[in-house]
Structure 1
Amino acid sequence: MRAIAYSETGPSSVLRLVERDLPQPAAGEVRVRVVVSGVNPTDWKARGGASPGRSTPFDEVVPNQDGAGVVDAVGDGVTGFAEGDRVWVFLAAHQRPTGTAQEFTVLPASRLVHLPDAAGFDLGASLGVPAMTAHRALTVHEGGPSRLAPGALEGRTVLVAGGAGAVGHAAIQLARWAGARVITTVSSPEKAALATAAGAHHVVNYRTDDAARAIRAIAPDGVDQVVEVSPARNAALNAQVLANHGSVAVYATDGGGEMSLDVRHHFALNVRYQFLLLYTVGDAALAAAAEDVSAAVADGALPVGEEAGLPITRFPFERAAEAHDAVEAGTVGKVLIDVAD
């Protein structure tokens, strides 16, 4: 089988197309014929490493955490999956040497989720890191809920920072599906159109608007939950718009790794800052996210494509390095690699 692999960290040029033996699933594992592989920022960052030329955690690494395809073989002891099942996978390369940038991948059954017949492989490969991160960000509020479903966020106002990004897009869709009123911030009219297509009720352009005033006009009592991509840059804005007992779920450090907070102001509002990293949230949180995201997919609540607010940029398998470069360059929307027909 063909695979994209690297054996030392560095720029995308370390990726090479190789031929490897077909892997066999062990007990508790499933082999998936990958149709589409999804690329996330975490994939190129892991490949780039802290500095070029460093050794990798395994002799050879196949990148990309997310993907979608068809079950090809099932190991001993696996229940719930059978050959021919359509699935999406998450954290395929977490603490493992092989992700989804290959024609067949083997992974624990716990990292597979059934893909409804009405959902395409592009959608399946776009879930994983973005949708599960968004789920976690929406379920760490002091007053709950810990799970998402229609009505779970009824009466809540959710502010999604950077609504045109992959996680922001999923957060808008999931919050809307769960019944929240959704406000999002963007940096351009083009991104505003994408966030609106994703389902945001209100869109604020922070470059041209007084963002705090605009958000307060929409939510005079403040925002209950913030899904935050840039805590350092947005700390002052969040302080101005948070409601009492409001929470800020931080999933990235765009704009810098340090932030300043007015402690007295946040004391008075009983604010909670919750930082989250999908790789270390624990199995229970991952399982809950997978189940709820799957339910949202079945309800048709997580579409992708430009008409749904998440443009798709795709590359053929042989140009996987270009796909990594596109994500690193900040391509708006989702970058996918076509692995098979």
Structure 2
Amino acid sequence: MKIIPFFLCFLFFSTLLSLSLSELCNPYDKKVLLKIKQSLNNPYLLASWNPQTDCCNWYCVECDLKTNRITSLTMFSDKELSGQIPAEVGDLPFLETLEFRKLPNLTGPIQPSIAKLKNLKFLRLSWTNLSGLVPDFLSQLKNLTFLDLSFNNLSGSIPSSLSLLPNLGALHLDRNKLTGPIPYSFGMFHGNVPSLYLSHNRLSGKIPASLDNMDFTAIDLSRNMLEGDASMLFGSNKTTGEVDLSRNRLQFDLSKVEFPKSLARLDLNHNEITGSIPVGLTAVDDLQFLNLSYNRLCGKIPVGGKLQSFDYSAYFHNRCLCGAPLQSCK
């Protein structure tokens, strides 16, 4: 009669032991994740974060199969999640990906504890209501290959120390309220030359001459208050694919510019650019988009290449441009 209760107890404890052995999640990481959930006021997005289950199976996280440590934390597209980035995110030492995106009620500054994440490769904090400065401590994250802080309310100047990130492939600071000049150091990136996106800010001053040293795959400085010369961004020896300098106050002679043959998109509209369209632009065979409108260009549009494949809107509102697709020259 006593054998059955003993068997049930044995079965119960062996089941618990089996469950504990089958759980992949590192207990320290699990404890940190539960603190993050609590700091965010237990949002519905994190409903799967049940302490009785394996955290490697929770929504918004990923585990490394070899180490069983949390390597990815991504939260996105949730209007209900509110508060600030929890300080505890810095207590996940194996984190390689951190993403908070499309969270309109996420506020406050960029969390300083992120500086502790020395293994971080991908950092995206975008489409939120984060405010304050772009922190200088981001330059300590030497393994970063992608940094996206776009579509926020960040203000102040761009820290020059970001050029110290040796592995950066793309830098997105666009759609904020950043002021001041483009750092001179952005012409001296250590290691990779990242695609650079600084559009829709309040940047002013001249584009640093040091950028002549950089061969950007893509560069977007549009919708700022930049002045002066931008010709250093071009060159026949470069491999740049996209350049958008539209809606600034740039003044330079376009006829003296040599364009890379790799150029696919060129937008210079709404500036104060003078000169004529250089014949060399006809040699850019892969040009897919062109807008030179609202400048002070003159002369005949060269015939050849892709230049006649764009309609009049790519050229109109210039001082005295003529030739197809505009009216013929007199």
| Shorter-chain TM-score above 0.5 | no
Structure showing greater radius of gyration is: 2
TM-score, with normalisation over the residues of structure 1?
0.28
Bigger helix fraction: 1
